[in-house]
Amino acid sequence: MAEFPSVQYFLGANAPGGFYSLYDQLLPRGEARAVYILKGGPGCGKSTLMRRVGQTMAEEGLPTETILCSGDPDSLDGLVLPTLGAAIVDGTAPHVVEPRCPGAVECYVDLGEAYDRSALAPLRKELEDCMAGYPGCYRRAYGCLSAAAELRQDSRAVLLTDRLEEKLARRARGILARELRRNRRAGVGRVKQRFLSAMTHRGPLALFDTVRAQCGRVYVLEDRWGLASQLLTHLLSGLVQAGHDVVACPDPLFPDRLLHLLAPGLGLAFVSSTAALPWEGDAYRRIRLDAAADGDLLRRSRPRLRFAAKVAQALEEEATASLAQAKAMHDRLEAIYHPYVDFALVETRARRIAGELLARN
Per residue in 217-249, pLDDT (tens digit) is 999 999 999 999 999 999 999 999 999 999 999
Averaged pLDDT for residues 48-62:
94
> Rounded to the nearest 10 degrees, what angle do helices 134-159 and 124-132 cross at?
20
Nearest to 80 by CA among 15, 173, 9: 9
User: Is it the case that residue 5 has pLDDT exceeding 80?
Assistant: no
pLDDT in tens, 201-217: 999 999 999 999 999 99
Averaged pLDDT for residues 22-49:
93
pLDDT in tens, 294-353: 999 999 999 999 999 999 999 999 999 999 999 999 999 999 999 999 999 999 999 999
DSSP state of 186: S
Predicted model pTM = 0.94
Count the Cβ atoms, other than its own, within 10 Å of residue 120: 17
Nearest to 95 by CA among 16, 25, 6: 25
Average pLDDT, the chain: 94
Position 95 confidence tier, pLDDT thresholds 50, 70, 90 = confident
pLDDT at res. 1? 38
pLDDT at res. 4? 54
Cβ–Cβ < 8 Å for 144, 316:
yes
Averaged pLDDT for residues 185-198:
94
Report the percent of the chain where pLDDT is more than 90.
Answer: 89
> CA 266 to CA 214: how far, in whole Å?
9
